[in-house]
């Protein structure tokens, strides 16, 4: 009698644990599509294909936009991040490539993630990045230095009132990540 009661209690617990495991698996499986939807809705880290970028109309007066590039690092993260070009003029509709150099100045491996910020904030809607180190986490070995291209196009629909854009990256440590190899 006690054994039957214990057996049914164990079976009920097993069913509950199986349901919890399935829910956890389903949630983990759904995180990637959910992340993509959130990024699409908020306009964060959107990957743009080159053929999706609108070109300026022939004969249209296209003004140049003064671009400024910079980077900051989360306090305590032993990385040095700097753009190799800090200022340039860009024409809407043309591809622009700048390079950022990142150095891990610590004696340990570190994984970091860069988040972009635009000034004015509304300009972020018009800067279409095709390639960026901010699209994924970056793993660095102790003392490692690498260069990363940032390729983007300024949408020709950029309002005439925006003559200057600052693209700034803040790099954060990703705690709890083991460095198995370099993230590319």
| Rounded Cα–Cα distance for residues 150 and 130 (Å) | 8
Q: What number is the average pLDDT over the span 14-20?
A: 92
Nearest to 164 by CA among 116, 115, 118: 118
Nearest to 55 by CA among 93, 18, 104, 17: 93
In this predicted structure, the answer to whether residue 181 has a pLDDT above a threshold of 50 is no
Nearest to 167 by CA among 135, 133, 121, 130: 121
Task: For 123-141, write each residue's pLDDT tens digit.
Answer: 999 999 999 999 999 999 9
CA distances, 157 to each of 94, 99, 124, 161 (Å):
13, 25, 12, 11
Output the pTM of the full model: 0.65
pLDDT band at 42 (very low <50, low <70, confident <90, very high): confident
List 103's β-bridge partners, or say none. Answer: 80, 145
Task: For 105-127, write each residue's pLDDT tens digit.
Answer: 999 999 999 999 999 998 999 99
Task: Locate 123 and state its tokens.
Answer: 């300009």
H helix runs in the chain, sequence order = 2-42
Give the per-residue pLDDT at 57.
Answer: 44
Are the beta carbons of 136 and 38 closer than 8 angstroms?
no
């Amino acid at each position: 009698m006690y054994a039957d009661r214990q057996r049914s209690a164990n079976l009920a617990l097993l069913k509950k644990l199986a349901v919890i495991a399935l829910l956890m698996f389903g949630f983990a499986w759904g995180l990637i599509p959910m992340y993509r939807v959130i990024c699409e809705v908020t306009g964060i880290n959107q990957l743009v294909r080159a053929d999706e970028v609108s070109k300026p109309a022939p004969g249209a007066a296209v003004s140049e936009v003064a671009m400024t590039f910079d980077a900051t690092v989360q306090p305590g993260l032993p990385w040095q991040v700097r753009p190799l070009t800090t200022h340039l003029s860009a024409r809407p509709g043309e591809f622009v490539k700048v390079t950022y150099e990142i150095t891990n100045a610590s004696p340990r491996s570190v994984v970091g993630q860069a988040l972009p910020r635009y000034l004015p904030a509304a300009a972020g809607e018009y800067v279409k990045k095709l390639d960026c180190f901010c699209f994924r986490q970056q793993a660095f070995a102790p003392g490692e230095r690498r260069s990363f291209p940032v390729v983007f196009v300024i949408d020709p629909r950029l309002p005439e009132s925006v003559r200057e854009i600052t693209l700034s990256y803040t790099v954060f440590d990703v705690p709890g990540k083991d460095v198995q190899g370099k993230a590319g």
